[in-house]
Amino acid sequence: METKSSLTVGGLQFEWDLEEGKFQFEGQDSVLFWTGTAMKMFFDSIEEISGEEATGVVMETTGFRQGLVVGDYFSEMEDVDVEKAANLITYTYSSAGWGIAEIRNLNTEAGTLEVHLRNSWEHKINVAQEKKAGGRFLPAHYAGIFTKLFGRNIWYKTIHSQIEGFPETIVEYFPSEETIEKNIHRLARSKEAEQIEQLENLVEEKTRELNELIKEISSPIIPVLEDIVVVPLLGTYDEERAEELLVKTLQNLPTHKSKYLVLDLTGLNNNFTTHAASLIDKIGATASLIGTSTILVGISPQMSMIIAESGINLSKFNCFQTLQHGIHYALAQNGRSII
C-alpha cells in the first residue's frame, strides 16, 4: 500500500504521509474533519458550555485572528499585491474545502470590497445545526485577511446569508474602528450586567422574603388561653408596619374567638412615640367594635409621660405593669384563675 502521496489542485499542493500520520496543505500541517458531524459536534459543544452569544464572539475573534495569519501568508508571497491576493483567495479556499469565496468590487484606495460566499463549511455546519442566521467565523476571517493586506483595520457587515434562502452570502468590508477587542469587552460588560441584574433580582427576592418573615414574627398573635390573645409590640412602627399590625390583629381576633386582646408594650420602651400611642388607641378602639376588650401591659414611667403629653386617652383601657397581671385580670373577668 502506498503510504506517501502528493497532489496539486488549482496550483496548490496537498501531501499525505500515512506512516507519520501527516496531511499537509501548501507545506503546512493540516487536519481533515467531517463537516456535518464532527465539526457540528465541536460547535454544539462550545455553545452548550459558553452559550450562543459568547460562542458567536469566540468564533468571530478566532476567524479574524486566523485571517491575520492568512494575510501574512499572502503578504510574504513574491510579486503578490492586494489585487493578486484577492484573486488567489478563491482557488486557495475552494481547494481546502472552504467553499467558494469570490472577491468583488475591490477598491484598494478606499479599503472596501465584497466577499460572496457559497457552500462554505460554516454554512454546512449551520445547516446541520438548523440555524436561522449565518455564522460569524468566515465574515470575520476575511476581515482579518484584508486588515493585514490593507494595513488598516477592516470590519464587515453581512448583507444577507445563504442560510436565509439566498443563493449566496454577501458580506461588505470597509475601514472601521470596530475591533474584536471591543466586541470581547462588550460581551464582558453584557455578562457583567446580566450577573448584576441576577444579583439584584436575588436581593430583591430575598428582601421580599425577609420582609414577609419580619411581618410574621415582628408582631405575632399568640393565643395563650381560651378567649385571650397576646400581641407583643416590638421595635418601631412606621405607617406601613402600623397598618399591617392593625389589619392582621383585627382579622385574627374573630378566628381565635377572642374576648380579650392583651397588648404587651414592653418591647416599645426605647421606641415609644406619640405615633405608637395613637396606634395603640386605634387598635383598642377598633377591637372593641367587634366585641374584644383591650388590656395594656408593660407601660413604663417613660411611656406614661409620653402618653400624657400626647393627649391621647389610653386610660379607657385596663392597664397593668406586667403580662402576668394582665392575663390574671382577663381570666378573673370570666370567673377563672390560674392555680
Query: Which domains are delineated in the chain?
Result: 33-178 (3.30.1380.20), 219-333 (3.30.750.24)
pLDDT average, residue stretch 218-224: 77
Higher confidence at residue 120 or residue 30? 120
Report the Cα–Cα distance between both ends of the chain, in Å, rounded: 109
Closest CA to 147 of 169, 124, 179: 179
pLDDT average, residue stretch 53-77: 90
Closest CA to 165 of 113, 138, 127, 116: 127
Q: How confident is the model at residue 191 (pLDDT cuts 50, 70, 90)?
A: low
Identify the pLDDT of residue 39. 86
Q: Which residues pair with 15 in a beta bridge?
A: 6, 24
> Under a CB-based contact definition with an 8 Å cutoff, are residues 169 and 140 in contact?
no
pLDDT exceeds cutoff 90 at 79: no
Q: How confident is the model at residue 218 (pLDDT cuts 50, 70, 90)?
A: low
Residues 6+ apart with CB under 8 A from 209: none
Of the candidate ranges 9-18, 107-116, 235-244, the one whose mean pLDDT is the lowest = 235-244
Q: How confident is the model at residue 115 (pLDDT cuts 50, 70, 90)?
A: very high
Q: What Cα–Cα distance (Å) separates residue 20 from each residue in 3, 6, 8, 29, 291?
A: 9, 14, 20, 12, 99
Of the candidate ranges 187-191, 194-198, 236-240, the one whose mean pLDDT is the lowest = 187-191
The DSSP string of 221-234 is -EEEETTEEEEE--
Closest CA to 87 of 106, 68, 59: 106
pLDDT in tens, 160-188: 999 999 999 999 999 998 888 877 777 66
pLDDT in tens, 299-339: 888 888 888 888 888 888 899 988 899 888 888 887 776 66
CA distance 39 to 125: 7
Closest CA to 298 of 274, 271, 258: 271
Percentage of the chain with pLDDT > 90? 32
